[in-house]
Homo-oligomer: A and B are copies of this chain.
Amino acid sequence: MSDFTIDDALALRVEEGFHLSDVDPSETPGFEGDSDELDEAFHSFNDLLDEEQEKLFANGRKHPETTGGILLVLQGMDTSGKGGVIRHVVRQLDPQGVHTVGFGRPTEEEAAHDFLWRVEKHLPGPGLISVFDRSHYEDVLVQRVNALAPPEEIERRYGAIVDFESRAAANGITIIKVMLHISRAFQKKNLMERLERPDKHWKYDPGDLEDRAKWERYQAAYQIALERTSTDDAPWYCVPGDNKKYARMVVKALIADALKSMELEWPEADFDPEEEKKRLKKS
């Protein structure tokens, strides 16, 4: 029986003095055990998630003015497991209350707007959970590494992101930002698997190797993004990702924490249940 707890997940938070290079992608902080125990720990959060997400959704319906939402941002290098988190963790949630968005290369229309424009419209409404597969952070990651915007514009964006996220938090959105941190060797293994299996070819892009060649520059860009935008309103969690099941369990625990912290109650009836029972019996 594993004793991995929500606190173990919260301990992965990016705090002052954080160095990405101190995080070993192959470790599983807070968890010791075999693959079966990992499965067990993974599922141990299911009941909490089920009940609390339904409460959140219910409150969003009945009291939209006072109910918040949750935003989960997933970032990481190619093959870091963002899709797997969605397939295995987000699937645990009731689809009625979840909105998943992938952010690829900006379209022409998107590129014509401020970089936050395309993101803002996908913020979660009352009672809902939005999941971003990549996000506005690409605008300070791939865009920084490849100098796709002038340096002063990149610089401006860190502050713009902090402001944007703190406005969202003030509007009741709980923000969880996860960097799935894998090793360069693990990426090689994953890319090789994509090349060896015809059912995975569609996930491979020859351009992935260009990004891979810039590994250190990406790590440096992540370091800057994490240290400059991990705030109380919108903390980053740097999750070791070489053990995919471990990373998924951590993300699940972080969602569980966000839901639990809302201390939700079932909405009170805005009718008299006894009176309605009488009406129903006669109906």
Contacts and interface: CB of A to CB of B under 8 A. Distances in A.
Contact of A86 (B95, B199, B273): B95
Nearest to A59: B202
Interface residues of A, number: 46
Interface stretch (A19-27, A36-44, A96-104): A96-104
Interface stretch (A166-174, A190-198, A251-259): A190-198
Interface of A: 54, 58-59, 61-62, 83, 86-87, 90-96, 98, 100, 102, 131, 133, 188, 191-192, 195-196, 198-199, 201-204, 206, 209, 212-213, 266-269, 271, 273, 276-277, 279-280, 283
Contact of A58 (B96, B202, B273): B202
Contacts of A195: 273, 276-277, 280
Given A188-B283, A202-B267, 6 more contacts: A96-B102, A191-B280, A192-B277, A198-B269, A201-B268, A213-B283
A196 B274 CA distance: 9
Contact of A199 (B62, B212, B266, B277): B266
A276 B90 CA distance: 32
Given A86-B94, A277-B192, A283 B209 contact: yes
Given A202-B61, A266-B202, A267-B201, A95 B209 contact: no
Nearest to A192: B280
A271 B204 contact: yes
A61 B206 CA distance: 15
Contacts of A204: 269, 271, 276
A206 B271 CA distance: 7
Nearest to A282: B209
A209 B83 CA distance: 44
A209 B91 contact: no
Contact of A95 (B90, B192, B201, B276): B90
Contact of A280 (B83, B209, B267, B268): B209
A96 B133 contact: yes
A279 B209 contact: yes
Max chain B C-beta neighbours (<10 A), residue from A58, A192, A196, A280: A280
A58 to B, nearest CB: 4
Given A90-B95, A94-B86, A276 B213 contact: no
A95 B96 contact: no
